[in-house]
Structure 1
Amino acid sequence: MEVIVEMNQISKSFKEKKAVDHISFNIHKGSIVAILGPNGAGKTTTLSMMLGMLEPTQGTVKIFGQHPKDIKVREKIGAMLQQVSVIDRLKVREVIELFRSYYPNPMEMEFLINLTGLTPSDLNRYAEKLSGGQKRCLSFALALAGNPELLFLDEPTVGLDTTARRKFWASIRELSKQGKTVVFTTHYLQEADDAADRILLISQGALVADGTPEEIKSRIVKRSLSFLSDQDSPEFRQRLIALPSIAECYDKDGRICVTTDNTDSVLAAIFTGGLPVRDVRIDQGRLDEAFEQLTQNHEEAV
């Protein structure tokens, strides 16, 4: 599979503070990659080095096999950053056409408009008159103007309502189907869980986890399983607690729940012991739980 982004032992220091500490990873063509981490973890710094906006203190960054500032690289990438700046006294359509003119093979205007959800009235409005959400849509359109093969998105859905967010991620999936590569940061962990096929989790400048959302969630120490029982009683609960690997037992949403670090062994013990349970569900955990555990464990190790 073609490698689009190569980060090799990247570090970045600002005076005495090391914002990024020896990070290495590759990103392949057509993938959707989320970079996650707490505030100040080094996400935006990492993104900025991939864009060529910052030079690493140590290590090498290559985009399409070249330095990020190479003109041929610039023609193949698009970026939507947190701060949205617009050109005063130009209408939205004029701003988009201006940006399209900067590239040798710009995205078709009609396709671009359909992807970004801008309406005909939006296109005829002066850019500075747009609402916050509309400016985010315009920023997305400008990132797509050059028909990029690689798209960088820094907190792309901040300020968007639920409908606009749904439209945005549908567009990202459409771009991925065309073979375009997407790298994004977000504080909305559910978005990363739903949209990304790979997550890079950064804590205190270090890469602490790298895998699919399911792989990241599978690293949660405690999982839970829940069920119903027609013979629930104090004796039944005591039998449950006595089973190996069960940490606690509690009620939630009308169901009996137990936490464990080994759901397989608990299920085997329940059925071997003949406990009267039905409608069993296994909760492998949420991404926010994995995020909290992995970053906390890294901080304690440091």
Structure 2
Amino acid sequence: MSFTGAVKTYGAVRAVDGVDLRIASGETVALLGRNGAGKSTALSLLLGLNEPDEGTVRLFGTTPERAVLAGGVGAMLQEARAVPRVTVGELVAFVAGRYPAPMPVARALELAGVAELAGRRVDRLSGGQTQRVRFAVALAGNPALLVLDEPTAALDVEARHAFWHAMRAYAGLGHTVLFSTHHLEEADAYADRIVVVDRGRVVADGTGEELRRAAGGSLVSVDLAGTGAEGLALLPGVRSVEVRGGRALLRTDDSDATVVALARQDAIRGLRVAPASLDDAFLALTAPGPTRTESTRKTEAV
């Protein structure tokens, strides 16, 4: 799968702005970004629902439209309406019948955790049950690439764990999975790579640990105790300084050097050192202004 210089505009808005991205066969990749960052537009280009104004998007060596028609892609999108007066089993069987080499219906229902709902009407399910049925529908064609847009949005904690267990089982068979999410902990736990999109561009691409390092590997915080924060930004390793309620929060690439410098200045009061979280990395990478650094990985495209 590859995006090469892909651009999609809506009036004056460049929803996708020159995206270059490659995902290898068998990878599980999370797509992160704020609302309006361009995630859904990128997925629509990938699924052939829209065409780029500039650049190209390729799946399995061909166009997205042809790849989808050939049955190579399964998708679970946010916007979908329940089909009235059909059962879960009937719906999944109908969708499977549209593909050249579908997954057995019983297997799709089992993987999605809805086998016990096979005889229930789709329009009489709860929100969480409906979400899992949509997952079964996405699996029905036994696709090589599975695209999931906010797949756990309507699920409780237990259902979310069951969903990710099913997704990992499917990915473990050698399939490629691309999912967007607002749950950073899910991206960190279940993705091989995390791609951060902001203002239509890829601003970071790597593992959770690589993204943390890209945003500043550690956070050092101290009490200001009435003193100002002047000069803290010049300490060794420090990349940024933020003052919160009388404490200075220093994002640093070298926490040891930063702490030693603070000690020399007799500025250690209420010292705390902690690794940067993925939340911290995400906020730093999507902050206004130019991207400071970017972690990249080269892959063989699907």
Q: TM-score range by the shorter chain?
A: 0.7 to 0.9
Match of 2:155 in 1: 160
C-alpha distance in structure 1 between counterparts of 2:287 and 2:168, whole Å? 32
Per-residue CA distance 1:156-178 (angstroms, 9 max, x = gap) = 00110111100111111111211
Q: Is the 8 A contact 2:47 2:68 kept in 1?
A: no
1:154/1:184 contact within 8 Å kept: yes
The separation in 2 between residues aligned to 1:12 and 1:216, in whole angstroms, is: 26
Residue 211 of structure 1 deviates from its aligned partner by 1.1
Answer yes or no: is the 8 Å Cα contact 2:70–2:100 preserved in 1: no
Describe the shift of the 1:130–1:41 C-alpha distance in structure 2 as closer, same or farther (beyond 3 A).
same
Q: Which moved more, 1:54-63 or 1:290-299?
A: 290-299
Q: 1:194 aligns with which of 189, 193, 214?
A: 189
Secondary structure of the residue that 2:146 maps to in structure 1?
strand
Q: Tell me how far 1:99 sits from its aligned partner.
A: 0.8
Report SS of the residue matched to 2:155.
coil
Check conservation: 2:214, 2:281, Cα contact below 8 A. Answer: yes
Query: Which residue identity lines up with residue 221 of structure 1 in the other structure?
Result: G
TM-score, normalisation: structure 1:
0.81
Distance 2:135 2:256 in 1: 45
**Corresponding position of 2:14:** 18
1:126 aligns with 2:117: no
CA distances 1:132-188 after superposition (whole Å, capped 9, x unpaired):
111100100000000010000000001101111001111111112111000111111
C-alpha distance in 1 between matches for 2:158 and 2:100: 33
Alignment CA distance shift 1:211-1:71 (3 Å)? closer
Secondary structure of the structure 2 residue equivalent to 1:163 = helix
CA contact (8 A) 1:198 1:210 kept: yes
Are 1:291 and 2:270 matched, yes or no?
Answer: no
Asked if the contact 2:285/2:291 (under 8 Å) is kept, the reply is no
Give the corresponding residue for 2:24: 28
Give 1:300 deviation, angstroms: 8.7
Whole-angstrom distance in 2 between the partners of 1:158 and 1:79? 15
- Rounded to whole Å, the distance in 1 between the matches of 2:126 and 2:113 is 14
Tell whether 2:232 aligns with 1:212: no
1:182 maps to 177
Look up the SS of the partner of 2:108 in the other structure: helix
Amino acid at match of 1:155: E
What letter is aligned with 1:52? G
Counterpart among 54, 66, 73 of residue 58 in structure 1? 54
For structure 1, the residue ranges without an aligned partner over 5 or more in a row are: 227-233, 235-240, 251-256, 273-279
Q: How far does residue 125 in structure 1 lie from its aligned partner after superposition?
A: 1.0
Larger mean Cα displacement after TM superposition, 55-64 or 9-18? 9-18
Could you tell me how far apart the structure 2 residues matched to 1:183 and 1:96 are? 21
Residues 1-302 of structure 1 correspond to what in structure 2 (within 5 A)? 5-70=1-66, 74-120=70-116, 122-221=117-216, 223-224=218-219, 245=236, 259=250, 261=252, 262-266=254-258, 283-298=274-289
Note the residue ranges of structure 2 that are not aligned, 5 or more in a row: 226-231, 265-270, 293-302
Cα pair distance change 1:46/1:101, threshold 3 Å: same
Aligned-pair CA distance for 1:109:
2.5
Of structures 1 and 2, the larger Rg is shown by 1
How far residue 207 of structure 1 moved from its aligned partner, in angstroms, is 1.2
CA distance in 2 between partners of 1:50 and 1:125 (Å): 33
Give 1:260 deviation, angstroms: 5.0
* Cα distance between partner residues in 1 of 2:15 and 2:95: 32
Residue 296 of structure 2: aligned partner: none
Name the CA shift for 1:207/1:93 in 2 (closer, same or farther; >3 Å). Answer: same
TM-score (norm 2): 0.81
In the TM superposition, residue 220 of structure 1 has moved relative to its aligned partner by: 2.2
Distance 1:159 1:72, change over 3 A: closer
Q: Report the Cα offset of residue 221 of structure 1.
A: 3.2
Whole-angstrom CA distance in 1 between matches of 2:207 and 2:217: 19
Q: Which whole-Å deviations, capped at 9, do the CAs of 1:68-117 have from their partners, x for residues lacking one?
A: 11156541110000013222111111111111111121112232222111
**Contact 1:6 / 1:62 at 8 angstroms: preserved in 2?**
yes
Counterparts in 2 of 1:268 and 1:74: CA distance versus 1, 3 Å: farther
Give the direction of change, closer, same or farther, for the CA distance of 1:107–1:293 in structure 2 (3 Å limit).
same
Which amino acid letter does the alignment assign opposite residue 201 of structure 2? A
C-alpha separation between the residues in 2 aligned to 1:298 and 1:172? 36
- Counterpart CA distance in 2 for 1:136 and 1:292 is 29
Instruction: State the alpha-carbon separation in 2 of the partners of residues 41 and 76 from structure 1.
Output: 27
Equivalenced residue count is 279
